[in-house]
Amino acid sequence: MSPERDDGTLSGVPSVPSTSSSPTAPVLHDRQKLTDPEQGLTLNHSSQQDMARCETLNDEKFSPSLAPQSTEDSQEEPEKISRFTRIRSSNHFLSFTVALAVFVDLLCYGIIMPLTPFIVADLGLKSTANGALIACYAVGLLISSPVAGILSDKMANRRTPMIVGLMALLLSTVLFMEGLKHYWLLLVARFAAGLAGGTMMTLGFALLSDTYPSNQLGAEMGKVMIGQSLGLMAGPPLGGVLQDKVGPKAPYVLCLVLIAIDLVARLLIIEPRSAKVKAIRKFQKQQQKEQKEQGLVQQPYIADGGVDDPQPSSSVPVAAKLTTMRGLLKNKRLLTGLIVSFTQAFLIAALEPVMPLYLSDRFNLSPTQIGVIFLAISLPTFVSPVAGWFSDKHGAKIMCATAIIFCVIFVVIFGIPGLPLWAIVLALVGIGATCAIYITPILGEISAVVRVTGDGDGFARAFALFNMCFSLGMTAGPLLGSLIYQETSMLWTCILIAAVTVVIVPLVFLYMGGKDQKERDQAKYEQDMQEQDLMLSRIQEEKRRKQELEQGTPSSHPSVVDQKV
């Protein structure tokens, strides 16, 4: 069943006839497709005609205004684009901004969360009050992820909701700094931080998916994961040092400075998606309105299998509907990726609360020494870009399955009684590296599924699901891990974690994409970009024709959409 899609989306761009063409001009629907043997892609018949016509458009570039340009204007346009503007619109700056956003969000989380037990104790409250703060963060994250995903996919840009999310982080930091003596303010602050975290992670990954092809996306996702690792590693020690050496409000001042830097970067980015989506949606709505006035718009019916199948007639195709979360969840490949994200978060979160207790009891280590050992599980995440690059070339299936198996082995080794400290540290290094290796390709898998099943119109929804599953794992892990460790031993705790993780290996082999699937993903991306460029050419051509008609000057060449099939 094809996922539902909403009005005016960029995905699956239909062939829309020109308003100046004959009302009886034949229109092919999306289901009428031909195959281009040279490209190895399936293209609409109208798209194949358009490709021939696009060569006559003098390589005109799309501009957000879609205003007709003279030859002199076209020649001067590259000179008008400053170097600063090119940097702002570059893919590298966009990736940097997303990585910075992830870093700042998790650094603020890492700075504040280790301080909350002491803040709660100073207020004379029980340890359960700290648990409530953690729960408020999780609730905020679970609420904001789907809301941000749905709203962002309906909007033409993702920058605006990302800035709103950053404002929530700013509010959280200020409330925490000023509410150290008021517990209810701390609850509101942690809820706001959860809203910010859910928004940022959801939209950041969606923004990368908008920008990069499938054969580059994994490596870029891996680079962003480095920002996540740096934030989590640097947060706790920075928070402790600043509070001890400078003062109780110093950690929050640092957070505010970093938020200001992050805000500047988010304001500066120019999304490659925004102007194109605005233009296409505006054009589609205008065409549908004009054709409806002519009585040409058809009513869809739902064929067997739930696919919107237009009845054959010379009418305008009904606009597609946005991909829904329910539709995405029916895809086994994406569902497997969500399960993997849950288990990876569960694994790390289950170990985090029991590791300090275990290391302190076994080796009588100080908190500082335990903090250094924690780096053993964080530093190896720098292999994420390599893992993403490998999955871009060869697919995620084999690498993910192999990494999960080795991760399970390292987890069990960590819990074996009597091991020397160096062996435990090596086991933690193995856990950190293998977790990074098998979670990074999942991000590319999710993006590929959206493009294949929804023509790229549901990236934010899909990553909202990813974020929700990851958050559920982060919530369930500490609860079960602490309970099992308290009632049994570290060995049985590790066996439980390993058992939860290893059961997903068959799902990975069955449903995740291999090298062949990766090649099909790339072909689908190239097809989507081709059809998008063709639609932009139609829009520009139609804009020119209308202006020429208003001026009483006939067009120098016929419209792409006026050609007969």
pLDDT in tens, 534-546: 777 777 777 777 7
pLDDT of residue 14: 40
Greater confidence (179 vs 74) lies with: 179
Is there a single domain that holds both residue 100 and residue 236? yes
pLDDT in tens, 100-144: 999 999 899 888 877 777 788 888 887 678 778 877 888 888 899
- CATH label of the domain that carries residue 467: 1.20.1250.20
10 Å CB burial of residue 386 (0-12, 13-18, 19+) is middle
Q: Is residue 54 part of a domain?
A: no
Handedness of CA 296, 301, 307, 310 (dihedral sign): negative
pLDDT in tens, 385-414: 888 888 888 888 899 999 999 999 999 999
Domain boundary among 511, 527, 543: 527
Is there a single domain that holds both residue 255 and residue 394? no
Is there a single domain that holds both residue 359 and residue 493? yes
Domain boundary among 270, 296, 311: 270
Please write down the long-range contacts of 258-265, taking CB distance under 8 Å and 24 or more positions apart.
258/104, 258/107, 258/108, 259/104, 259/108, 259/166, 259/169, 259/170, 259/173, 261/100, 261/104, 262/100, 262/101, 262/104, 262/166, 263/163, 263/166, 265/96, 265/97, 265/100, 265/101
Kindly report the number of other CB atoms within 10 A of residue 479's CB atom: 13
pTM here?
0.70
Q: Is residue 17 part of a domain?
A: no
Give the residue numbers spanning the domain of 102.
89-270
Q: Is residue 126 part of a domain?
A: yes
pLDDT in tens, 224-281: 888 888 887 788 778 878 888 888 888 899 999 999 999 999 999 887 765 566 666 6
The enclosing H or E element of 183 equals: helix 183-211
Q: Is residue 302 part of a domain?
A: no
pLDDT in tens, 283-300: 666 666 666 666 654 444
Return the top range by mean pLDDT from 443-447, 507-511, 559-563: 507-511
Is there a single domain that holds both residue 386 and residue 521? yes
pLDDT of residue 542: 75
Is there a single domain that holds both residue 335 and residue 478? yes
pLDDT of residue 554: 54
pLDDT in tens, 426-482: 999 999 999 999 998 888 888 888 877 765 567 888 888 998 898 888 888 888 888
pLDDT at 49 > cutoff 60: no
Answer yes or no: are the C-beta atoms of 397 and 336 closer than 8 Å.
no
The values of phi and psi at residue 41, to 5°, are -120, 160
User: What single letter denotes the amino acid at residue 296?
Assistant: L
Q: Is residue 288 part of a domain?
A: no
Is there a single domain that holds both residue 369 and residue 513? yes
Is there a single domain that holds both residue 353 and residue 448? yes
**Residues contacting 429, CB < 8 A, separation 6+:** 376, 377, 379, 380
Domain boundary among 254, 270, 286: 270
The values of phi and psi at residue 229, to 5°, are -65, -45
Is there a single domain that holds both residue 338 and residue 444? yes
For Cα atoms 491, 492, 497, give the angle at the middle one, nearest 5 degrees: 100
Say how many domains are in the chain. Answer: 2
Q: Is residue 505 part of a domain?
A: yes
